[in-house]
Structure 1
Amino acid sequence: MSDSPRGVVRHCPFCAEEDLWPVEEPAGGWECRACARVFTVRLDRVEAQHIPGRVAEEAALGREEQP
C-alpha cells in the first residue's frame, strides 16, 4: 500500500507491553523485550465499503443524484 519505512506499533499484540524496538530482520519487524517475541504488522487493504460513515455518505450522494 505504501512505501513508507515502517508504521509505529504502540504495543505488542501478544502481551500488550509497550517495550518495543525496531529490528532489521525481518524487514519492518519489531522486538518486544517483555515477551521476547519478534513480529511484523502488515496492512493489506482497507475495505472502504464496510466503513459506516462511508456507507452513509454514498447513500446520501445516491439520493442527491436521483432526479
Structure 2
Amino acid sequence: MSERAAPFYCPYCGDEDLRPSDEGHGAWECGACNRAFRLKFLGLLTRGLQRADHEGDERI
C-alpha cells in the first residue's frame, strides 16, 4: 500500500493551506477557514465506468 493521498485544497473554502490533523488517519485541518474534515475511500463502484456513445445516446 502506498502512502496516504493528500488533498490539494479545502472542500469548504478552496484554500491550499492544509495540514494533517492529530485526529487520526484521513483527518485534515484548513488554516484558512479553521475547519477540520476527514477523507475516506469508500470503494469501487460495481457498475463500472460508463461512456456515452458518440453516434447516439446509448451507453456501453
TM-score (norm 2): 0.68
1:43 matched to 2:17? The reply is no
User: 2 CA distance for matches of 1:26 and 1:39?
Assistant: 11
TM (normalized to structure 1)? Answer: 0.62
Q: Which of these two proteins has the greater Rg computed from alpha carbons?
A: 1
Aligned CA-pair RMSD: 2.1
1:8 is aligned to: 6
Q: Which residue of 2 aligns with 1:60?
A: none
Q: Could you list the runs of 4 or more consecutive aligned residues of structure 1 that deviate by over 6 angstroms after TM superposition?
A: none
More helix by share: 1
Q: How many residues align?
A: 53
Which runs of no fewer than 5 residues in structure 2 stay unpaired? 52-58
Identity, in percent, stands at 34
